[in-house]
Amino acid sequence: MALKKYFGTDGIRGRVGDHPITPEFILKLGWAVGRVLGTRGSGENKILVGKDTRVSGYMFESALEAGLSSAGVNVHLLGPLPTPAIAYLTRKLNARAGIVISASHNMFEDNGIKFFSHDGIKLSDEVELEIETELEGIQKVVEPHLLGKASRVLSASDDYIKFCKQTVIAKYSFSDLKVVVDCAHGAGYLVGPNLLSDLGCNVVSIGNEPNGFNINDGFGSTNPEALRRTVLMEGADIGIALDGDGDRVIMVDESGAVVDGDDIIFVIAHFRQKLGRLRGSVVGTTMSNLGLEEAILGLGLGFERSGVGDRCVLEKLRDGGWSLGGEPSGHIICHDLTTTGDGLVSSLQVLQAMVESGLSLSELRKPVKKIPQVLLNVEVSEEFSLAQFPKIHRELNRISSTLGTSGRVLLRESGTEPVVRIMVEGPDRQGITSLATDLASVVESTES
């Protein structure tokens, strides 16, 4: 298969103003997407466009609207909504595709474009390549009488909240739970608190005052300290931290301990197993902690690993006909309920587990005994490629040999930002920290 020029592991992403995240490119991207997805296949001749709260979202929303319209596609604008809401509404409203303007957990200086097919799933590599091929052509506007129209979907937030409520079993009441929700000043800043309040939770909201520039700044799933402090100060039962576009979640238990995606997956798996609502094996990724695997096997369930990224997790779930998988970062897919990672739907599963069992979150996650794991990010240039540097692979092999069967080492290029991610796992934290630092130093030396 040909290499993709623009698409990474989750759409197209970069710094605003630097190619390809410019108004000119995004306008033509809208046209190319309209040509490939908008005028053929299932669904009505319309494409949905949602966004997070970055100031650049206004600019790119207008550019996409113009590009899609020029290709003869009707545009339905959803405004600020979590990424999984766009996936759901694409299916509900019978659209040909859904587009999200977001750079997820990145800071406001970045932005990106993600896509969902008519079925509410990420685009295949083949379709992404077809869009890139179209981008190489000359943009031609359809005849005036064929131009697409644009309209706003005023019911979008209410429709998504209603969907989330339908994932809760009717017998459960959340009225005794005090919940802190951190919205990262992002796309979930309204629907998150409103959903939890509607379900009866005593809600304390933080990170819910976006101004276009503060998304993910000191708040959200990548910055759980503010949530931890608030949970302890409020004496809350649980803290929920969404990321900027609401497709991932990290939690804090009543003691102030951070609860990552591995812990959350275990809690949901155990809860759904008890209810007879768990199909097949649980899916983690190569980054999932060995402690999660052992805890899942301890429940008598199967555990499978996919590549990194929610698209890889979903592919594994679909191939196996299974219902639950996710990543330590908090991308969790309840595949019988949703088609993509959904921070709010995943949170509701955990709240139900707490109510059903009468146990605290710290008690529910206790069977997961984490193996020490060190994660490092090394900044690299845009042109960096691991394949170019044999000495990195020699160091990787040395560390793998040192760890033997007692640990793991992983090295991969990020698909969303110019960094190399390093993970070393093993029984001795000091030892694996030293090994991870050695590997990072070798990667850094290639950039000097």
Q: Which residues are catalytic?
A: 104
| Site of tokens 């970062």 | 329
Residues 6+ apart with CB under 8 A from 139: 28, 31, 70
**Nearest alpha carbon to residue 186 among 122, 259, 241:** 241
With beta carbons less than 8 A apart as the criterion, state whether 50 and 64 touch: no
With beta carbons less than 8 A apart as the criterion, state whether 358 and 315 touch: no
| Site of tokens 């595949």 | 335
**Nearest alpha carbon to residue 249 among 341, 159, 377, 337:** 341
Laid out side by side, the sheet with 202-206 consists of 202-206, 178-182, 238-242, 249-253, 258-259
Distance CA 188, CA 154 (A): 16
The number of beta carbons lying within 10 Å of the beta carbon of residue 24 is 10
Distance CA 256, CA 180 (A): 12
Taking only Cα atoms into account, the Rg of the chain, rounded to an integer number of angstroms, comes to: 22
Cis peptide before 372 (omega within 30 of 0): no
Alpha-carbon dihedral sign for residues 16, 18, 23, 26: negative
With beta carbons less than 8 A apart as the criterion, state whether 148 and 71 touch: yes
Count how many residues are written for the chain.
448
Cα 25 to chain centroid, rounded = 24
For the chain, give percent helix, strand, coil, nearest 5. Answer: 40, 20, 40
Alpha-carbon dihedral sign for residues 97, 151, 31, 115: negative
Which stretch of DSSP H or E encloses residue 194? helix 191-198
Distance CA 219, CA 209 (A): 11
Enter the tokens of residue 373: 């794991």
Enter the tokens of residue 437: 């630092």
The burial of 411, by beta-carbon neighbours within 10 Å (0-12 exposed, 13-18 middle, 19 or more buried), is given as: buried
